[in-house]
Amino acid sequence: MLRVQSFESYMTGGTPLRIHVILGSRAAMLVDTAMRGYEGMVSQALDFLGEHGRSLAWIVNTHAHHDHMGLNSWVQAQTDAHVVSHAWSRRWIADPVTNFQEFVLGYPELIHDTPTVRKEVFATMGPGTELDLGLVGGEHFYLGDTEVEIVDTSGHLPGEIGLLIQEDQALVLGDVLVGLDLPMFHGYVDPHRYRQSLERIRELVVTGRVTRVMTSHLPPFRGPEDILNAIADRVQFVDEIRTMILASIHEQPGTLRDIWLMVSKRHQKRPEFRGLTMVAGHLAELVWHKEVSCHQGLYQAN
Ligand SMILES: [Zn+2]
């Protein structure tokens, strides 16, 4: 039996946006709910469940970014399904205002609240939903003949999960394999945990537990080699960003703003909030490892 079915649409700029249904003999899960404007795609997924005679037991948000949870309440009103995600996601899933403020406006002196960014992020989220179950990785869901293991894939946000469908050696991911070819940094907030998550996925592949990967925005990965290459590219990317930041501070002390603009320019990325949080995450890690210190907002080499 086909256990995972993906549904795809396209975002402005041509990036795919996918959600997935995991179908068991007894129950079903919807992985992510996309965002406002994508009701058609989500309806297709719900119709698919109806055609297979299953009701939706769980809405799973891989993480609490707007394009993964924006239609939670819309789906819940139709299905009465329980909402589950990484335990960290609770506040962001419950309250779109908190979500927007902390995701986009964490550095109000550098990123301004504009109609454009409100349209891109805030307007795409419907009303919040309560998290019924907070996960951290390691939990198992039994959907009849289908067993789903939760994998901690945090780092892109402080909390993110992937779903391992054991019988299919298939792994459903949100954004942990971040997009590298976008006009802005797709980003991660915690480089240390991000590397750990990449290593965790690599381990699942090299031990033969995962041979297929489906994500929200990238083409599906079929076969271990494809997946391992994608992981290696992200590990290299994190190393490059770290090295670039450290070299620039050695050359000349700089503020978060200086370093964010330098990294964005050198990678030809639009300087915006995601890249800013990524650079701030690297700086925090460098300070933690005492390679860099920060005095009155100026980062300098130790
Ligand atoms: Zn995301």
SS3 category, 269: coil
Q: Output the CA 25–ligand 1 centroid distance in Å.
A: 30
Q: Output the CA 68–ligand 1 centroid distance in Å.
A: 7
Contact 98, 128 (CB under 8 A): no
Contact 270, 264 (CB under 8 A): yes
8-state DSSP, 219: P
Q: Output the CA 228–ligand 1 centroid distance in Å.
A: 21
What is the pLDDT at residue 162? 98
Dist CA 222 CA 233 (whole Å)? 16
pLDDT tens-place string over residues 136-157: 999 999 999 999 999 999 999 9
8-state DSSP, 254: B
Q: Output the CA 252–ligand 1 centroid distance in Å.
A: 32
The secondary structure element, H or E, covering residue 230 is helix 224-251
Dist CA 46 CA 265 (whole Å)? 43
Q: Alpha carbon of 73 to those of 41, 68, 81, 83, 229: distances in Å?
A: 15, 12, 10, 9, 37
| Residue keyed to tokens 């945090």 | 154
pLDDT tens-place string over residues 55-71: 999 999 999 999 999 99
Contacts of 270 (CB under 8 A, 6+ apart): 183, 184, 264
Instruction: List where CATH 3.60.15.10 sits in the chain.
Output: 4-234
pLDDT tens-place string over residues 259-274: 999 999 999 999 999 9
Which residues are 16's β-sheet partners?
Answer: 10
- Topology (CATH level 3) of domain 4-234: Metallo-beta-lactamase; Chain A (3.60.15)
Dist CA 117 CA 207 (whole Å)? 42
Single out the residue of 199, 225, 214, 203 nearest to residue 168, CA to CA.
214
Q: Output the CA 42–ligand 1 centroid distance in Å.
A: 18
Mean pLDDT of 9-29: 94
* Mean pLDDT of the chain, nearest integer: 97
